[in-house]
Amino acid sequence: MDGGGMNYAAHASKQLGAKPAVVTRLNKEDDHVVKAFEAAGIDCYPVYTPSSTLMTLEYKTRDVDQRNLYVKGTAGTITPSQLDEIDAKAIVTNSSLRGEVELVFFQKMRERKGVLLSADVQGFIRVLRGESLVYEPWTEMEAILKHLDILKSDAVEAEYLTGEKDIEKAARFFANLGPKEIILTHSKGMLVHADGKDYHYEFHAESMDGRTGRGDTCVGSYLTKRLTLPPKEAGKWAAAVTSLKIEKLGVFDRPVILVEAFIQKYYKD
């Protein structure tokens, strides 16, 4: 199936009424991915490469934080010049493994005034060895985090980098390095750390059929709502959208009215 962080994040953003654009690299044989974005009303700026990033994701238990990843091919590195034609209010990087987005990208994007800049930890600690993705120390962590406004991590990645099982302590560790807002997902829900405060949200899903893409959907919906709402309220939308996405395989495609009702049911103050 067509995956990729940009796929899940962009569709979630579009469903919430934003105008997302996707910058990606892929093999020309996978051009149906570009056409699918365009059919959904999402602008897509592809660079065609010898291979798409081809990944197998294997869950061995119902714990969504525990999984194995295997890679058959990679599409190379997103460069700053690929965004030259795009005027964005927020830039969300959803790389799958180390090398897809590099330090120079964040240095260049930080030069843009008034842009929310976000990244996902997974794209920096996952390293390709043979066909397997393994965690390795992130030597450029401080250099990259100082350029970010928002960082996304899951509980396993956070513990690996910070040594903290306590997700609130892990979030503060990251925040002290630069990004003032941290989205930290775990098997039961998510934490938003912002302005020195912690906001916890439990996921409510009737099935786990759509667990793949959970984190990317979460960050895409959070960033979209963060453009107009404070962190606590944006977190409610992200938790609701993610809960509904977990129930269904594929990208998030549920109506906004359903998300609003979900928020009233589960996340009303």
Residue-level pLDDT, tens digit, the chain, 269 residues:
566 788 999 999 999 999 999 999 999 999 999 999 999 999 999 999 999 888 776 655 555 555 567 787 788 999 999 999 899 999 999 998 999 999 999 999 999 999 999 999 999 999 999 888 899 999 999 999 999 999 999 999 999 999 999 999 999 999 999 999 999 999 999 999 999 999 999 999 888 888 888 999 999 999 999 999 999 999 999 999 999 999 999 999 999 999 999 999 999 87
Query: Cα–Cα distance between 161 and 209 in angstroms, integer?
Result: 29
Q: Which pLDDT score is estimated for 65? A: 53
CATH code reported for the domain at 5-266 = 3.40.1190.20
Inter-CA distances, 262 with 77, 88, 205, Å: 38, 29, 11
Q: Is the separation of the CB atoms in 51 and 27 below 8 Å?
A: yes
